[in-house]
């Protein structure tokens, strides 16, 4: 019978079918980080349960580590040091490969896992972190779980999972210069709502995907969770294989050839049926920016803050009202009229080398507007090294950006560093929730090029006006 890519991956890992469309799935890779991983490891120890296969478990220090140069275990996050040190201790005790602060491979989990070849096409990977869906861009079944589920996987190599329905999102057309994967995913969420993917495993397909590099695909899949999808997937192609070949944890020699043979079968059969299909014509797409406090509150950078849709449910109306108030906006205001206080380039969504190259191309020879605090945080040490070898750091610094050490940094506020009360920030991150980047901080999500252009303009700006 014709199968979707998702069906193939599911069947390959199904240990047994339980009741009610629940299955016990075999888990190939587990990634932890110091914010949620330490709780899982400690709780497992307390229950007297060992980590079954520590060699397939990895842990990153990314969420609360400081990102200033010369950093140590000290961090501005209150009690952050305790999280860092207990994660180190618990990882060592369990025999897990930890990418510690001073490790040359350290970085944000969803940046380093692909970069090191830990995630591979056809594998299952879980992490107690919602943006694990990013890694589906390589054709893996990767999804975010809670701490208790992570414990379950650590102790049993399996997870009990309810089989999601399947959805294919066909992305047609060609992206114009200055329009990126970030704009595509924001547009999809704006159009179908932040709950548009509830209950589905999504496969992204179409011309736009064929044309996209692996890093852009990671950006696209990253925000599947903002669409409330179980996860996202992209069938591996020659770009995927080229990307993985030679990575430290990638298969080698004969194993590479055998793996490749399997990976060549990982696509949705042409007559496979999806439970739902959506399609988005991307040829007319403009850069997209969020205006409110949910990623679904997004529109074209050339647009205006929308008027509340009539006839929406009262709960939707109250979320619109609250968003106007929190963001200090009026319906009808042009987005490009909004003056910004800060600009941030970083996070697992947009901190890879291609992101930094594109942003640097806009910043080259230009200056950040007076009064704008601008920060760039590369996603990993490897990204940072390449960027520095290419001189990108000098472009960022000359423009007036801070150039930081890798980590999640100000993608989220944990009580430490933040952009400040009611500050307006244009950010390449993935969440514009209330308080996400700081108390009453007003976050506008955008692509790295839009962030770079806005940093120069001192207000939200259309990157197409700044393309080299």
Partner 1 sequence: MTPFITHTGVAAALLRTNIDTDAIIPSREMKLVSKQGLGEGLFAGWRYTQVGGREPNPDFILNQSAYQGTSILLAGKNFGCGSSREHAVWALAEYGIRAIIAPSFGAIFYGNCIRNGILPLSLPDEVIAAMAAQIQDPQQHQIRIDLAHRQVIGVDGTVYEFVIAKACQHMLLDGLDQIGLTLKRADSIAAFESDYQKRRHWLFELPTDVAG
Q: Give the sheet arrangement for strand 97-99, strand by strand.
A: 97-99, 57-60, 29-33, 124-127, 141-144
Q: Is 468 in the site for partner 1 (CB under 8 A)?
A: no
Residue closer to partner 1, measured from CB, 146 or 468: 146
234-242, 246-254, 332-340, 353-361 -> range binding partner 1 (CB under 8 A): 246-254
Q: Is 459 in the site for ligand SF4 (CB under 6 A)?
A: no
CB-CB contact of 41 with 98 (8 Å): no
Exposure pattern of 366-382 as b/e (b: 16+ CB <10 Å)?
bebbeebbbbbbbbbbb
Cα separation, 241 vs 261, in Å, equals 11
Crossing angle for the helix pair 381-389 and 392-399, nearest 10 degrees?
90
Pair of tokens at residue 186: 């924001």
Among 56, 88, 131, 381, indicate the residue that binds ligand SF4 (CB under 6 A). Answer: 131
CB of 26 to ligand SF4, least distance (A): 25
Residue closer to partner 1, measured from CB, 255 or 330: 255
Among 64, 108, 169, 216, indicate the residue that binds ligand SF4 (CB under 6 A). Answer: 108
Among 45, 49, 366, 386, indicate the residue that binds partner 1 (CB under 8 A). Answer: 49
Residue closer to ligand SF4, measured from CB, 324 or 412: 412
Residue whose token pair is 């969504």: 349
Give residues 340-379 in contact with partner 1 (rule: CB under 8 A): none
Helix (H) / strand (E) containing 110: helix 109-115
Exposure pattern of 226-237 as b/e (b: 16+ CB <10 Å)?
bbbbbbbbbbbb
Q: Is 3 in the site for partner 1 (CB under 8 A)?
A: no
Cα separation, 115 vs 370, in Å, equals 36
88: closest CA among 60, 122, 64?
Answer: 60
86-94, 202-210, 292-300, 404-412 -> range binding ligand SF4 (CB under 6 A): 404-412
Give residues 29-68 in contact with ligand SF4 (rule: CB under 6 A): 62-63
Select from partner 1, ligand SF4, none the partner in contact with residue 149, using the beta carbon and a kind-dependent cut-off of 5 to 8 Å: partner 1
Exposure pattern of 56-92 as b/e (b: 16+ CB <10 Å)?
bbbbbbbbbbbbeeeeebebebeebbebbebbbebbe
CB of 293 to partner 1, least distance (A): 8
Give residues 414-433 in contact with ligand SF4 (rule: CB under 6 A): 429-430
CB of 287 to ligand SF4, least distance (A): 21
Q: Is 251 in the site for partner 1 (CB under 8 A)?
A: yes
Give residues 198-237 in contact with partner 1 (rule: CB under 8 A): 198-199, 225-226, 228, 230
Residue closer to partner 1, measured from CB, 219 or 319: 319
Q: Is 258 in the site for partner 1 (CB under 8 A)?
A: yes
DSSP-assigned states of every residue in 309-369: PTT--HHHHHHHHHHHHHHT--TT-BGGG-B-SEEEE-TTTS-SHHHHHHHHHHHTT--PP
Select from ligand SF4, partner 1, none the partner in contact with residue 420, using the beta carbon and a kind-dependent cut-off of 5 to 8 Å: none
401-403 and 373-376 beta bridge pairing: parallel
CB of 207 to ligand SF4, least distance (A): 28
Give residues 330-359 in contact with ligand SF4 (rule: CB under 6 A): 347-348
Q: What are phi and psi of 124, to 5 degrees?
A: -100, 135
Residue closer to partner 1, measured from CB, 68 or 262: 262
Site residues for ligand SF4 per CB under 6 A: 62-63, 108, 129, 131, 347-348, 408, 411-412, 429-430
């Amino acid at each position: 019978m014709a199968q979707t890519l998702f069906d193939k991956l599911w069947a390959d890992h199904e240990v047994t079918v339980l009741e009610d469309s629940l299955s016990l799935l075999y888990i190939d890779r587990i990634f932890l980080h110091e914010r949620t991983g330490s709780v899982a490891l400690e709780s497992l120890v307390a229950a007297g349960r060992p980590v079954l296969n520590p060699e397939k478990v990895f842990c990153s220090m990314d969420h609360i580590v400081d990102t200033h140069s010369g950093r140590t275990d000290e961090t501005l996050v209150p009690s952050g040091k305790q999280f860092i040190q207990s994660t180190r201790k618990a990882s060592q005790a369990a025999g897990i490969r930890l990418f510690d602060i001073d490790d040359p491979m350290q970085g944000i989990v969803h940046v380093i896992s692909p970069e090191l070849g830990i995630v591979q096409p056809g594998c299952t990977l879980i992490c107690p972190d919602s943006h694990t869906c990013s890694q589906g861009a390589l054709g893996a079944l990767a999804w975010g779980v809670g701490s208790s589920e992570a414990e379950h996987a650590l102790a049993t190599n399996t997870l009990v999972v309810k089989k999601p329905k399947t959805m294919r999102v066909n992305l047609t057309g060609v992206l114009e210069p200055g329009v990126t994967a970030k704009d595509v995913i924001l547009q999809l969420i704006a159009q179908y709502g932040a709950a548009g993917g509830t209950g589905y495993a999504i496969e992204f397909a179409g011309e736009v995907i064929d044309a996209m590099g692996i890093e852009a695909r990671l950006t696209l899949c990253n925000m599947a969770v903002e669409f409330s999808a179980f996860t996202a997937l992209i069938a591996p192609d020659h770009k995927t294989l080229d990307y993985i070949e030679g990575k430290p944890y990638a298969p080698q020699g004969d194993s590479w050839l055998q793996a490749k043979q399997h990976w060549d079968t990982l696509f949705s059969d042409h007559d496979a049926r999806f439970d739902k299909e959506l399609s988005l014509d991307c040829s007319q797409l403009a850069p997209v920016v969020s205006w409110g406090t949910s990623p679904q509150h997004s529109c074209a950078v050339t647009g205006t803050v929308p008027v509340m849709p009539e006839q929406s449910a009262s709960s939707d109306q109250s979320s619109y009202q609250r968003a106007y108030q929190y963001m200090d906006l009026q319906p009808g205001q042009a987005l490009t009229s909004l003056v910004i206080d800060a600009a941030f380039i970083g996070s697992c969504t947009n901190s890879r080398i291609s992101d930094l190259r594109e942003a640097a191309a806009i910043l080259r020879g230009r200056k950040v507007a007076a009064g704008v605090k601008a920060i760039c945080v590369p996603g990993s040490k490897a990204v940072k090294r390449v960027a520095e070898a290419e001189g990108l750091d000098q472009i960022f610094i000359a423009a007036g950006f801070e150039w930081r050490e890798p980590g999640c940094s100000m993608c989220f506020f944990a009580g430490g560093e933040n952009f400040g009360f009611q500050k307006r920030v244009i950010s390449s991150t993935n969440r514009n929730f209330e308080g996400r980047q700081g108390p009453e901080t007003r976050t506008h999500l955008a692509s790295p090029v839009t962030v770079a252009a806005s940093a120069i303009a001192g207000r939200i700006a259309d990157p197409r006006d700044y393309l080299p």
